[in-house]
Amino acid sequence: MTVTCHNDPGKANPEPALDELWRAYLARFDEEHAFKSAKSTLGLTAARVRTPEQADRWVRLAMAAFAQFLLARPLAPDLRHPWETRPPDSRPLPPGRVRRGYANIRAHLGTPAHVAKPARPGPGRPKGSAKGPAPRHPVPKKTGTTVQPGQHKTSGQRLKRKLRLSCR
């Protein structure tokens, strides 16, 4: 396979060099593993949001948590399951193992916040600030399931009709 990259000094956007392309190609695996970890352990896709702004905030929050796992790698103890092998010293701990040791890290770090003072309950949610219940959508009905004039309704069909009438 032959790859030729041309960098013309007169171009505004020169093509990347071959080594840059190769590093970008290898980095895609890190991105895929990051999203897989964010989906499975951090609940990236578990949020039930109603607006795009809420979805954007949720993604930012999950990525911030993932970044904390990456930053905590040097501090985390290697808590392995019995079937897991020790990673080479040249490789950092994967985010899943950092997550296992995160409770031990947090106990040593402390917190910049002061101890909470006992207080009476707050005023609650201001009037008119609630968005209300989630919008409801009608359930699609099957068509073409009417009973022919000579047929009898089954007990299941009668029960469905009773339930439908009671829900109105």
Q: Where are the domains of the chain?
A: 14-71, 76-110
Looking at residue 153, its pLDDT comes to 61
| Model pLDDT for residues 133-147, shown as the tens digit of each residue | 778 888 878 776 565
Task: Answer whether 93's CB lies under 8 Å from 73's CB.
Answer: yes
Q: What is the mean pLDDT of residues 65-82?
A: 85
Task: Check whether 128 has a pLDDT greater than 70.
Answer: yes
Beta-carbon contacts of residue 5 (< 8 Å; ≥ 6 apart) = 15, 16, 17, 18, 21
pLDDT of residue 33: 81
| pLDDT for residue 120 is more than 60 | yes
| Rounded Cα distance, 136 and 50, in Å | 12
| Mean pLDDT of the 97-122 span | 81
Is 50 exceeded by the pLDDT of residue 22? yes
Read off the pLDDT band of 80 (50, 70, 90): confident
Q: What is the mean pLDDT of residues 65-85?
A: 86
| Residue 1 confidence (pLDDT) | 42
56 against 106, higher pLDDT: 56
* Cα torsion 97, 99, 100, 104: sign: positive
Query: Residue 57: what pLDDT?
Result: 92
Torsion of CA 141, 144, 145, 146, to 10 degrees: 110
Query: What is the distance between the alpha carbons of residues 79 and 96, in angstroms, rounded to a whole number?
Result: 10
**Residue 75: strand, helix, or coil:** coil
